[in-house]
Structure 1
Amino acid sequence: MSLYYKLTGALLISCLLLTSCTSNQNEAISAFQDEEVEEGQTITIENPEVLMEQTSANKEEGKQYQIQTRLTDFHLLTESAGIAWGSTRSELRLYLTQNSGKTWTSISPAASVQFPYHPKYNRDIFFVDASHGWIVRNSVGSSDAIVLRTRDGGATWKIASLPGSDKVVAIYFTDVSHGWILASKVHPEKEEKTLYQTEDGGVTWSKIMTSPSDADAEQDHVLPNSGGEISMIFQDRMTGYVSMISSGIPKLYTTNNGGISWSEVEDFFSTSKYKSCKQFIAGEMQFFSNEPLNGWIPVGCVKEGSTKFNGYYTADNGATWSLAPFSSFWQTGLNEALSPTFVSSEEGWLLHNSKVYHTLDQGQSWNELPKSKVLVEILADYPEIVKLRFSSNQVGWLLVAQSNQKRSLLLQTLDGGITWRVL
C-alpha cells in the first residue's frame, strides 16, 4: 500500500466565495473496498485539489489519499451515475460518480455553509442530472434558509435566500429552470406552510401559496398547515402532488396551476380497509421514468410493534389511485419502517432478515433471490438499512449503517439484487 497515505489533521478553512471544494478539473475518487471501516465509507482520492484546502497533507503528483466519510443518503441519477453524501463536523461531503462507482468526484459546497443535520434527498437535495443540482440549508439562528445551486456538476455553487422560512420539508424540479420548495414555519401555538417557486433555476424564489394556521385548507384551496412525512412531486409546470400524514391519516393533494391552489384527492385512502391498524406511515411518492403516467405511494400499517406496507398506484397521471395489497412481511425492530422499492409499476424489491425479495406483479407475490454471502456478512455488522433504490431492473444501490458507531457502507448490485459489492 505504498501508493496510499492516510489523511491526518483536518483543518477547516474559511471560504469567502461559495465555490465548491473541487477544482475545475475532475478529481477522481476510486472505489476502495478492502480497508476496515472505522467511521464510514473508505474512499480513495487521486490528486485532489480539495486536500490542499481541507487538510495539511502535501499533494504529490501520482499519489492517492484515503478519507473516511460517513454516508447518510444517496440518489441514483442513471444506471451509471449517482450522488452520495454525509456530514462531517457540520460540513457537507457530497460525491458524484458517473461510471458506476469506479471513480468519484468531490462536489462539496464550501465548508463555510454549515449543516447541523443530515440532508435528505427530495427534502434538502435535488439533482435533475449530473450537472444541475440544488441544496437547501435550513435557517440557522436568525438567518433565512438558503438554496445553493450548481450548473457545472458542483465545480461552483451559488447562493439564494429563502426569506420567511424556517424549515424546508420538500424540494422538486421538473427541469433545470422550474422548481418548487415547500417550507414550514412554526410560531408559538401555530404553524404555516409556504410554497416557493423558481422559473430561473433557483436564482430567485417567489411565494405562490401560504397556508396560515387559521386557514381552512379545503375552503381556501391551500395545503393544510399541519402534517408530516411530506413528499412532493411535479409532473410538469402545472401538475403536482403532495402526500402527507395529516391528523394521523394518509392524504394526497393535487394542483393543476403550478402550486397556486390545491385540492384533496378524494377517495385516495380509506381507513375502513385497515380496521386493526393503530397508526399509519407514508413513504416517498414516486413516478416512473419509463412509465411517466404511472406512480405509487407506499403506505404502512402499524400495529403491535410491527409494520406492513401496501402500495397505492396510479396509471393515469394521478387522476385515480388504487390499493395494491402486498403479500410481504410484517417488519419489526431497526428496519420496521423500511418500505419496498419499485423501478416500475410491476417490478420491485424488498429486504427482510438479510434476504432480498423480488416481485414482478406489483407486490402480489415475492420471490426470494439467491442468498448473497457478502450481503449477509455486511448486514451482520451494519444492521440498519438506510435506503434501497434501483435505477433499472439490474442496477441498485443499498446504504447500510451502524448508527451507534457512526459507520456506514454503500453497496451496489449489477444483477438485480443477486450479488452485491461495496462501492
Structure 2
Amino acid sequence: MNSCLRFISALLIMATLLAACSANPSLPVNSPVSIEDTQEEGQTLTIVNPESIDSNMQTEQPSDGKKYQIQTRLTDFHLLSSTTGLAWGATRNELRLYRTEDNGATWTNISPSSSILFSSNPEFGKDFFFLNKDTGWVIRNAISSGEAIILRTNNGGLVWKMASLPDVARVAAVFFLDAEQGWIVTEGDYRSSSEAKAVYLTKDSGATWKKIMSTPIIAADASARLNKLPKTGVISGMSFTDKNHGYVSVLEAGQPSLYRTANSGVNWSKVEGWFDHSKFTSCSRFSVDAPEFFRGNTQNGWVPFGCVKEDAIKYQGYFTEDGGASWSFVPFSVPWQQGDSAALATTFLNRREGWSLHGSLVYHTTDLGANWSLLPQSAKLSEIVLEYPNVLKVQFFNSQLGWLLVGQSDNNRSLLMQTMDGGVSWQVL
C-alpha cells in the first residue's frame, strides 16, 4: 500500500513539473523583445521592422514580433526634421544605423551590409551625409592598402549601392548639394610626411567620381601648387552654397584657415585676412570646425573656432551674411570650457540664435552671441551628465527641439537626449 502511495505521489509531482514548464505564455505579437549587447550598452531603442528588407540588410529581428528592443552604443546623430533623425555607431566593426520618424519613440534599422567592416565610427560631414530620410551616403575609409567604399541609398536604407575610390589615404570631408551633385575631399596621413589633398566630384549621386583637384606630393615648382588646397594641414570640413561656390576649413600650421572655390572645386584660393592671429596671441593652440551655412539661407553662415589656454578652451566664430564674400569675427561672452565637454563647440540655429553647453549648464543667445543667458538647470540632464560626462554633440532643428548625445569616459556607453523647450528640460530618448 505504501509503495502504491509513493508511486502515485511521484506521478503527481511529475505532472506538476510538466505543467509548470508549459505554463510560460508566449509573448504577444507586438510585445517588444529585449536583445542586449552586454559589451556596449547604454541607449535602448525600440526597433520597428521596415516594410521590406533588402537581402544585404542585417538585423537582429526576432521571428515572433514586429517590434523589439536593443541596447547599443551611439556615436553620432543628425536631425532631419522636427520628428525625423538618424543615429548610428560601429559595434564590432559593423555600422549600426537607425532612423526615427516619431521623435525617438520607435526606430528602423537601416544599416548597410555587415560584411562591410568599419575601422572607425563615421562622423556626419566627414564620412557620412544625408540630405533627407531617403537620400544619403556612408563612406568606409580604406583599410590597409584597400580602397574607400562609398555606400549610397535613395530609399531610406532599404537598398544600399556601392562605389569605390581607389588609392585614397583618408576621406576628410563629404558634402552633397542635392541628390545628384556632391564632393569628397581626401588627405594623406598627417602623422606621415604626406598630407596631399584631393577633391572628387560626382554628378550622378555618387555612382562615379572624378578627381578634379590634387595637391602634388613633390611639386616641380611653386606654380604647381597654385589654386589648390594646401599640401600641409588638417581639413576640418567642407560646405557648398551652390554648384560652384564652396568652402573648406583647414587647421594649417596650427592656425585656422579658410579656402574657397568658385568653379565647383577645381581651383581653390585662401581667404586672406579671414583669421587674424594678432588678436589671439594669448592662445597656446587652436581648433577649427567645418563651415556651416544655415538651413534655408545660403547667404548666412559661420565657421566656429576654439582658442586653447592650458586645459581650457573658448569657442568663437566668423560669420558671413553674403554667402562668404566677407566675414566678421564675433566673440562669445560665455565661460571657458574645461573637462569632458571641452571639445563641444557652440551651435547656432541661424544668425541670431545659438546654444553653448558646459556640462549640464546650457547657455542661450538670441543676438548673435552678444549676450548669453544661463537657462534653468535641468535636473535630468544634471543626473545623466554625472554618469555620462562626455558631452559629444548637440543639434537644434528649431528654437524648441534639440538632441544631445552624451557618453561615458570609456566610450562604451552613450545616451541620446532630447529637449522640446529650447534646452530648459531634457529627457532620454
Q: TM-score, normalised by structure 1?
A: 0.88
CA–CA separation in structure 2 for the residues paired with 1:191 and 1:267: 24
Moved over 6 A (4+): none
What's the CA shift for 1:324? 0.4
**Which residue number corresponds to residue 94 of structure 1?**
97
Pair 56,241 (structure 1): closer, same or farther in 2 beyond 3 Å: closer
**Which residue number corresponds to residue 206 of structure 1?**
210
Which of 195, 200, 212 lines up with 1:196 in the alignment? 200
CA shift digits 1:44-89 (9 cap, x unpaired): 2245788x98578741145x32211100001111222111101111
Q: How does 1:128-147 map onto structure 2 within 5 Å?
A: 128-147=131-150
**Which residue number corresponds to residue 277 of structure 1?**
283
**Which residue number corresponds to residue 244 of structure 1?**
250
What's the CA shift for 1:242? 0.3
CA–CA separation in structure 2 for the residues paired with 1:332 and 1:217: 44
Aligned partners of 1:218 and 1:263 also within 8 Å: no
**Which residue number corresponds to residue 336 of structure 1?**
342
Which of 351, 355, 361 lines up with 2:357 in the alignment? 351
SS at match of 2:196: strand
SS at match of 1:337: coil
Q: How many matched pairs?
A: 396
Which of 368, 371, 384 lines up with 2:374 in the alignment? 368
Q: How does 1:286-305 map onto structure 2 within 5 Å?
A: 286-305=292-311
SS at match of 1:43: strand
Aligned partners of 2:389 and 2:409 also within 8 Å: no
Aligned partners of 2:301 and 2:323 also within 8 Å: yes
SS at match of 2:70: strand
SS at match of 1:403: coil
What's the CA shift for 1:325? 0.7
CA shift digits 1:14-61 (9 cap, x unpaired): xxxxxxxxxxxxxxxxxxxxxxx97221112245788x9857874114
CA–CA separation in structure 1 for the residues paired with 2:360 and 2:197: 40
CA shift digits 1:233-261 (9 cap, x unpaired): 01111000001110011100000000000
**Which residue number corresponds to residue 6 of structure 1?**
34
CA shift digits 1:363-417 (9 cap, x unpaired): 1111011121111111111110000111111111000000316110001111111
**Which residue number corresponds to residue 12 of structure 2?**
none
**Which residue number corresponds to residue 231 of structure 2?**
225
Aligned partners of 1:296 and 1:313 also within 8 Å: yes
Q: How does 1:369-384 map onto structure 2 within 5 Å?
A: 369-384=375-390
Residue 42 (str. 1) matches residue 44 (str. 2): yes
CA–CA separation in structure 2 for the residues paired with 1:217 and 1:125: 34
CA–CA separation in structure 1 for the residues paired with 2:307 and 2:134: 39
Aligned partners of 2:392 and 2:407 also within 8 Å: yes
Aligned partners of 1:128 and 1:176 also within 8 Å: yes
Pair 369,260 (structure 1): closer, same or farther in 2 beyond 3 Å: same
Which of 225, 239, 259 lines up with 2:265 in the alignment? 259
Moved more, 291-300 or 218-227: 218-227
Pair 309,186 (structure 1): closer, same or farther in 2 beyond 3 Å: closer
Which of 388, 392, 402 lines up with 1:396 in the alignment? 402
SS at match of 1:191: coil
Unaligned runs of 5+ in 1: 11-36
Aligned partners of 1:179 and 1:197 also within 8 Å: yes
Q: Which residue identity does 1:332 align to in structure 2? A: Q
Aligned partners of 1:251 and 1:269 also within 8 Å: yes
Aligned partners of 2:216 and 2:224 also within 8 Å: no
Q: How does 1:141-160 map onto structure 2 within 5 Å?
A: 141-160=144-163
Pair 303,361 (structure 1): closer, same or farther in 2 beyond 3 Å: same
Q: Which residue identity does 2:199 align to in structure 1? A: L
Q: Which residue identity does 1:392 align to in structure 2? A: N
SS at match of 1:109: coil
What's the CA shift for 1:214? 3.3
What's the CA shift for 1:292? 2.2
What's the CA shift for 1:217? 8.1
Moved more, 226-235 or 41-50: 41-50
Pair 107,46 (structure 1): closer, same or farther in 2 beyond 3 Å: closer
Pair 335,349 (structure 1): closer, same or farther in 2 beyond 3 Å: same
Aligned partners of 1:238 and 1:259 also within 8 Å: yes
Unaligned runs of 5+ in 2: 1-25
Aligned partners of 2:282 and 2:309 also within 8 Å: yes
CA shift digits 1:116-158 (9 cap, x unpaired): 1111000110011111100110111221111000010100000
CA–CA separation in structure 2 for the residues paired with 1:297 and 1:217: 29
CA RMSD between the two structures:
2.4
